[in-house]
Amino acid sequence: MKGLLLAAVVASLCITSTAEAAIPLAIGHRGASGTRPEHTFASYDRAIELGADYIEQDLQLTSDGVLVVMHDTTLNRTARGDAANCTGPVDQHTLAQIKTCSAGSWFGAEYANEKIPTLEEVFQRYGKSVNYYIETKAPDSADHMEERLLALLDKYGLREPAVSEWQVLIQSFSAASLQKVHAIDPRLPLIQLGNPTIAQMPDVASYSVGVGPSFGGINGDWVAAAHAQCLQVHPYTVNNVADMQKLLGYGVDGMFTNFLDRLTPLLGKEKANGKQGAKEAASFHDTCISGT
Ligand code: G3P
Ligand code: CA
């Protein structure tokens, strides 16, 4: 009970401090990866249950050209099974090999049946019922990761909702990758990961709608400078309540967390409800751009 009261007080303080911003987005980092094996359906399902406004996907490419959802470039940390199939670089294994591996047993025996999803399987499972925050991870231009991603958005009818409602945000540390997407379709909402200097922000804003900084490297002035360029600010990866409170006080527009069960109570009853949060963020950004 005491905990609930504290959360309510904190929530009211936080919402007051960000009254001029859109309602902050709760981004499920690799799903609900604090309590489920990252980038599995178990993790995404739990993130959605916990009120995620977005579920995050990191992309890797198999040797036969399939986009799979995995953070690391190798299978070693989060895949278990036959060593020939389940260790070493993702891009040196076929999808058939990778599908023999467990994506959950490293985390807990109860998740042994979890498999590494393809991005297509993620879209098939959740369709247009959720928002996706998709990272092109270490893309080599020869792999055509961006074109493959856009082809899947088209196949599942997600490109236009990405444009109009931010149902999909595309993020990357690679400016080249984002600029490639921007060149193909400049309407798509992009998030530049990393911590640009304030002087670099106008350039970032020329192709991005937001920035995803490492949370320890920012402060209120940095957030204000990003907002002055109409860049939304979604820091990663924020897992303790004190850091969440501090960042909300800076006026961030959302954050990545492994622990949505800690963030959503802070946002309180005014928290955006699923897809609505993304729509509001898109609208907030459009209003900002039209006022500059
Ligand atoms: O995409 C935001 C955050 O996830 C970036 O770091 O290494 O967890 O992908 P990483
Ligand atoms: Ca990521």
For the segment 105-116, what is each residue's pLDDT rounded down to a tens digit?
999 999 999 999
What are the sequence ranges of the domains in the chain? 2-73+117-290
Q: What is the pLDDT of residue 276?
A: 84
> What mean pLDDT comes out for the span 78-96?
98
Site residues for ligand 1, CB cut-off 6 Å: 29, 58, 71, 135, 171, 193, 212, 236-237, 256
Tokens at 109, concatenated: 């025996």
| For ligand 1, atom 3: residue with the closest CA | 236
15 pLDDT higher than 70: no
Active site residue 144: no
pLDDT, tens digit, for every residue of 122-180?
999 999 999 999 999 977 887 999 999 999 999 999 999 999 999 999 999 999 999 99
Q: What is the pLDDT of residue 273?
A: 72
Q: Which ligand is nearest to the CA of 57?
A: 2
Q: Which atom of ligand 1 is nearest to the CA of 237?
A: 3
6 pLDDT higher than 50: no
Give, in order, the Cα–Cα distances in Å from 32 to each of 29, 37, 78, 185, 290.
Answer: 7, 8, 15, 31, 35
Active site residue 71: yes
3-class secondary-structure state, position 203: helix
Cβ(235)–Cβ(215) under 8 Å?
Answer: yes
Give the active site residue among 29, 39, 93, 285: 29
Closest CA to 41 of 148, 133, 136, 118: 118
- Residue, of 73 and 273, whose pLDDT is higher: 73
Distance of CA 145 to the CA centre of its chain: 17
Q: Give the Å distance between the CA of 11 and the centre of ligand 1.
A: 26
Q: Which ligand is nearest to the CA of 237?
A: 1
- By DSSP bridging, strand 54-61 and strand 67-69 are antiparallel
Q: How much of the chain is helix, strand and coil, in % rounded to 5? A: 45, 15, 40
Q: Give the Å distance between the CA of 155 and the centre of ligand 2.
A: 23
Task: Give the mutation target among 71, 190, 192, 208 for probing the ligand 1 site: most ligand atoms within 8 A of CB.
Answer: 71
Closest CA to 29 of 43, 49, 14, 45: 43
Neighbours of 128 (CB within 10 A): 14
Q: Which CATH number fits domain 2-73+117-290: 3.40.50.720, 3.20.20.190, 3.30.830.10, 3.40.50.300?
A: 3.20.20.190
Long-range contacts of 160-167 (CB under 8 A, 24+ apart): 161/128, 162/188, 162/189, 163/187, 163/188, 163/189, 164/282, 165/275, 165/278, 165/279, 165/282, 166/131, 166/209, 166/278, 166/279, 166/281, 166/282, 167/128, 167/131, 167/132, 167/275, 167/278
Handedness of CA 93, 98, 101, 103 (dihedral sign): positive
pTM: 0.92
